Amino acid sequence: MSLLRKERANVKRLFSLTILLVIGLLGLFAPVLMPHDPLAVDISKKFLAHSWDYPFGTDHLGRCVFSRMLLAIRYSLGSALVIQIVAILLAILVGAFVALKRGIVDYLFIRICDILLAFPTLVLAFGLLGLLGPSLKNVLIALVFTQFIYYSRLIRGLFIGLNEKDFIQAARISGTSGIKLIIRHYIPNILPPIVTIVVLDIGKVILEIAGFSFIGLGVQAPIPEWGMMVNEGKQYIRQHPELMLYPGLAIVLVVLLLNHLASSFKKLG
């Protein structure tokens, strides 16, 4: 029975991963797949119905919604991936250094993290955006910083937990140290929980990017992003609810798939 359950879990995991890869590839090859220029304005074609030429119709400016949905994958899912990758790489460098150095460096690091983590992630990101100004680049900087603070403290704790393990002590006695020790012994042992957390947080970051774009602090017009597309479509919700429905469903689908994938990694670990 347990084997059957495990097989089902593997199938579900593969299904989620496959759908996410397909979505990612659609975003990667969006310039080739887009039937129309997603930024081209043609008022004479506004609010066109679904057709072979315009699969999702057109918006209030006559722009192809399908083309904008494809390009928006880069700014929603793509930006979230960039944020997570940069944040976790920086966190591994800083967390490993602090955990191995200890002493006053570790003390100061913990105090700084305590101060910054006293604020909710969104409040801290809002503060940074208030200083930097609204733009996608500044949203990336703000979210990388907030994710980095959390991950670096987490990784520092994981490294310290491994410091006294027998295999770490044996590696040190054998002469392994520095980068080799981190790559060969520390990272392989902290990788499973880190992968689970990072994958799960991609969904959260997508929602944060969409939220900032929705209120005008993230991606700026005319560049398409799912949160901004929801914002643009909200004033036409009675006559053309699909302008909000398509990007909204895209956000929900991707976040649910990422959450399911992260949960499956956790069970696997």
Q: At what angle do helices 242-268 and 65-73 cross, to 10 degrees?
A: 30
Q: Are 203 and 261 in contact (CB under 8 A)?
A: no
- Above 80 in pLDDT, residue 175? no
**CA proximity to 261, closest of 207, 200, 205:** 200
**CA proximity to 197, closest of 242, 250, 261:** 261
Domains in the chain and their CATH numbers? 73-268 (1.10.3720.10)
Helix, strand or coil for residue 64? strand
Q: Are 182 and 196 in contact (CB under 8 A)?
A: no
Torsion 215-218-220-221 (CA) sign: negative
The whole-chain average pLDDT of the chain stands at 87
Which residue type, as a one-letter code, is found at position 185?
Answer: H
**CA proximity to 243, closest of 79, 46, 32, 19:** 46
CA dihedral 209, 214, 218, 224 (to 10 degrees): 90
Residue bearing tokens 């992968």: 195
DSSP codes joined into one string, 75-102: IIIIHHHHHHHHHHHHHHHHHHHHHHH-
Which residue type, as a one-letter code, is found at position 24?
Answer: G
Q: Are 269 and 25 in contact (CB under 8 A)?
A: no
- Above 60 in pLDDT, residue 206? yes
pLDDT digit string, tens, across residues 124-167: 888 888 888 888 899 999 999 999 999 999 998 888 888 777 77
Contacts of 90 (CB under 8 A, 6+ apart): 144, 148, 152
Q: Flag whether the pTM goes above 0.85.
A: yes
Mean pLDDT, range 173-185, rounded to an integer: 73
* DSSP assignment letter at 220: P
pLDDT digit string, tens, across residues 64-75: 999 999 999 999
Q: Where is average pLDDT lowest: 12-21, 61-70, 223-232?
A: 12-21
Q: Where is average pLDDT lowest: 75-84, 164-173, 246-255?
A: 164-173
Both tokens of residue 195?
Answer: 């992968």
